[in-house]
Amino acid sequence: MITNERVLSAFLQISREKFVNSDAVTLAYQDHPLPIGYNQTISQPTTVMLMIQLLEIEESHIVLEIGAGSGYNAAIMSKLARKVYTLETIPELAVFAKNNLLCSQISNVEVIHTDGKQGYQEAAPFHRIMVTAAASEVPQNLLAQLEDQGIIVIPVGNPYGCEMLKIHKIGKEFKTSKHGLYSFVPLV
């Protein structure tokens, strides 16, 4: 499933056990989601890597992530991109993500406590956007914050059977491809 060597290398550089709750450390490398509190989860590793692979991140890219959670996805993307902004609506998880990234000595990720559905206009446009929760529809303001030739990866639909979409912005057009059904917590 994962064929991008850069994504595999980035994944191997990040210790997942640093991004889970202390009671789940022994489960950190099992390939399934784990609870991180506040009715949220850290996604299973294969899903994280697949989403990041779909983003096609280059070293010069600025990435926006909606849903920081524990900071794990942003940590992996930090090894691929120039800068990652990750937004988290739950204040305790924003602090959790900041602390996890700090302990992992990652300095090119900025965690911002805000409503991710609004995006982050202050740093837009973005080369890539990743949404880590199931949206009922693609937020138009996120598409507006995507630069030309940019890509957004977002699960859309019912949280227990949402479709993974890759949307490529080409000029004023958007080309969408589907990449399977997944389960995600709902975008709040």
Q: What positions carry a catalytic annotation?
A: 43
**Element at 111 (helix H, strand E):** strand 109-113
Residue where the block lists tokens 């890539």? 128
Nearest of 146, 147, 144, 142 to residue 131 by alpha carbon: 142
**Cα distances (Å, whole numbers) of residue 62 to 25, 125, 148:** 31, 9, 13
Q: Read off the amino acid at residue 176.
A: T
Beta-strand runs (E) in 31-161 = 34-37, 40-42, 62-66, 83-88, 109-113, 126-131, 146-156
> 144 is written with which tokens?
């507006």
User: What angle, rounded to 10 degrees, do the helices at 5-13 and 45-55 form?
Assistant: 130
- The 8-class DSSP code of residue 44 comes to P
Q: What stretches of 67-184 show up as alpha helix (H) in DSSP? A: 72-78, 91-103, 140-144
